[in-house]
Amino acid sequence: MKPKRLSLFLMIDACGWEIVRNDPFLQKVAPHRHRLRSVFGYSSACVPSILSGRWPDEHGNWCYFVHDPDNTPFRGLSWLRWFPKALTGRRIVRRLLTKLVKNQLGFEGYFDLYNIPFQHIHRYDFTEKKSPLRPGGMNRGENIFDTLTQRQVPHFTSDPTKSEEENRDELLAQIGEGKIEFAFVYWAGLDGLLHRVGNESPEIPARLRVYEQWIEQVERLAGECYEGVDLYVFSDHGMANCDVHLDLAKVIEALPLRFGTDYTVVYDSTMARFWFAHDEARRLVEEALATVSQGRIVPETELRELRAPVDDRRFGELFFLVDEGVLIVPSHMGERPIRAMHGYHPDAPQSYATLFTNRAELPCEVTDIPHIHRLMLESIQPQSNNSPSQHEPHHRPEYAAFVRRFLVTA
């Protein structure tokens, strides 16, 4: 006798709406497609939001590097400042150091030293010490893997240390055994390809055809081994081509201010986050940023609307966001230009994510990527029409807490 149902959640990193809008991607197995609004931030914010159903201001996973000199784990790396940058700035050297530091510090999530200067690395902390792909992996609250474990749902989860092909083959093996009820697969290869070649390269539709073949293979085997299959293929964000390069550090370094004394900054690829030692430093930086036409300072009211964790000042005190298609380079993420990037405003055309499914009607409202968590919960235990999970916004934790207290005392 076949198992009843299998719920397949397959995430293709950076498979944005504009990339697939005019492509016949998955028309055979997942013909129903939806455009989803992403969250403000990078994959460090998007993936935890998908897995938890909450926003960065709730789960606390947003940008990787934060200003926290009192709690930095990197103080022991400051001696590397004495080595020539021609050596420590090489990507191959950084990758080796990243691997060594990650093992030494016991970080379980994604970690990269990127291009953070070693003379200032002791000023920063790193926010993804745990893996969001595991139970207990969120900075705050639970994720879908906590729920799967608590409910003892047999499931498959991608191993980020393995290749896409290895994870695909392991998924197929477990489907063939018919022992799992839920699967979450994370394929990140498209993201790296888009960074390298851009979203108009012929390599992109070619890569989509590869994913399409894999997904059709998975769906076909699942159909043979289960009575029913619910298929969801989705992304976390899109990708915009970078045609404008902005040396923002040059603008700031021209001011009569000292890094580490008057101000501290992290130059992300599309955003600069500042901290200030005094009001005069803030005034001078704001005046300088006002002259940069390729971006703008994001007001705190807008940041709150975007659900950024602005109350946690470790993430920044002032945020400068560039326009879509602009790349901050050099930055603390890299010395050299790349062809495409994400992390722009969620309403920028290339920022929108996607959802493909074989279900003609979704069981709950899904308009933003955190809502994918609702589909995951529904697949584990279908809810009635009066279920709070369908109508309660996931950014209302106080309501959820009230419900839990009511159930406990009832």
Return the domain boundaries, the chain. 5-57+132-240+347-409, 66-126, 243-337
What per-residue confidence (pLDDT) applies to 63? 97
What per-residue confidence (pLDDT) applies to 1? 67
Whether the ω angle into residue 330 lies within 30 degrees of 0, i.e. cis, is: yes
Residue 26 exposed, middle or buried by CB count within 10 Å (0-12, 13-18, 19+): buried
Bridge partner residues of 183 (DSSP): 8, 156
Report the topology of domain 243-337: Gyrase A; domain 2 (3.30.1360)
Residue 200 exposed, middle or buried by CB count within 10 Å (0-12, 13-18, 19+): exposed
If you search the block for the tokens 């020539």, which residue do you land on? Answer: 84
pTM over 0.85: yes
Report DSSP letters for 317-369, one per residue: SEEEEEPTTEEE-S-SS-SS--SEE--S-TTSGGG-EEEEES-SS-SS---BG
Low-confidence spans in the chain with pLDDT less than 70? 1, 382-410
Question: Quick check: helix, strand or coil at residue 15?
Answer: coil
Say which CATH class 5-57+132-240+347-409 falls into.
Answer: alpha beta
User: Given the DSSP bridges, would you call strands 228-234 and 5-12 parallel, antiparallel or unpaired?
Assistant: parallel
Asked whether the beta carbons of 335 and 359 are under 8 A apart, the reply is no
Q: How far apart are CA 322 and CA 297, in angstroms?
A: 9
Collect all residues with Cβ–Cβ distance below 8 Å to 273 and sequence separation of at least 6.
63, 265, 266, 315, 316, 318, 319, 320
Q: How far apart are CA 50 and CA 54, in angstroms?
A: 8
Residue 228, CA distances (Å) to 183, 245, 275, 400 in order: 14, 49, 53, 31
Specify the DSSP element, H or E, that contains 264. Answer: strand 263-267
Tokens of 90: 């090489």
Q: How far apart are CA 100 and CA 123, in angstroms?
A: 20
Collect all residues with Cβ–Cβ distance below 8 Å to 174 and sequence separation of at least 6.
156, 180, 183
Question: Quick check: helix, strand or coil at residue 157?
Answer: strand
Q: Could you count the other beta carbons within 10 Å of the beta carbon of residue 266?
A: 24
Asked whether the beta carbons of 11 and 187 are under 8 A apart, the reply is yes
- CA 366 from centre of chain: 18
Give first-to-last CA distance, the chain, whole Å: 39
Tell me the pLDDT tens digit for each residue of 36-70: 999 999 999 999 999 999 999 999 999 999 999 99
What per-residue confidence (pLDDT) applies to 184? 98
Collect all residues with Cβ–Cβ distance below 8 Å to 348 and sequence separation of at least 6.
240, 323, 324
Q: How far apart are CA 235 and CA 11, in angstroms?
A: 5
Amino acid at 16: G
Residue whose C-alpha is closest to residue 188's, from 205, 164, 216, 157: 164
